[in-house]
Amino acid sequence: MNQLQNFTKGFIKDNPVFVLLLGLCPTLGVTTTAINGLGMGLATTFVLVMSNLVVSLIKNLIPDKVRIPSFIVIIASFVTIVELTMQAYTPALFEALGLFIPLIVVNCIVLGRAEAFASKNNIISSVIDGLGMGLGFAFALFLLGAVREILGSGAILSMKFIQGDGVLVFILPPGAFIALGYLIAIMNRLKKTT
């Protein structure tokens, strides 16, 4: 597998949300608007790249039996760094996403990539894998957020195009499941034809 394939697999073939169905907690939680989804996706991308980098750097120094606790500590540290930095330098963004930043720790996509990819591959491949997976995750969250925002609030990127409220259920958690289900169906249909 060359590096380009390694990078692009996160978008369609192994998309964390639509194909692997990993990290659904933040996926369903934050995607009430497109911009929230994008912000969460980018924050996760940062953590994913950094943790993949560090894990692949030290993979030979960690005994097998304690690798999971070590990975978790590394991931949690990066998440806390992101949280503190955002709080200090971009308070507005932190306000929108603050609740969900700690959720990155429990996002299994981060631990999943550390365990399944970074602990077996070299640094460059791991970073590219983290970047591809992270951006694929961000893309999926943005898409789901956009669909829910359009249907639920009648707006896109906070710009309203209808008067009053949209279909309220799409803002609520059940709407997230419904929208996600249809998006997965569309993705599967698209993959079949190509």
Integer angstrom CA distances of residue 104 from 59, 69, 77, 134, 139: 22, 16, 11, 12, 16
Nearer to another protein, 60 or 194 (CB): 60
The dihedral formed by the CA atoms of 22, 19, 98 and 101, expressed in degrees to the nearest 10: 40
DSSP class of 165 = -
CB of 102 to another protein, least distance (A): 13
Give the binding range for another protein (CB under 8 A) out of 11-19, 40-48, 82-90, 106-114: 82-90
CA dihedral 180, 118, 12, 47 (to 10 degrees): 50
Task: Output DSSP code: residue 20.
Answer: S
Verify binding: residue 77, another protein, rule CB under 8 A.
yes
Q: What are phi and psi of 168, to 5 degrees?
A: -55, -35
H or E segment at 190? helix 173-193
Q: Does 130 bind another protein (CB under 8 A)?
A: no
Stretch that binds another protein, among 14-22, 44-52, 164-172, 178-186 (CB under 8 A): 164-172
Q: Pattern 23-62, binding to another protein, x per CB under 8 A?
A: -------x-xx--x-----------------------xxx
Q: Which residues bind another protein (CB under 8 A)?
A: 30, 32-33, 36, 60-66, 69-70, 73-74, 76-77, 80-81, 84-85, 87-89, 91, 99, 152-153, 165, 168, 171-172
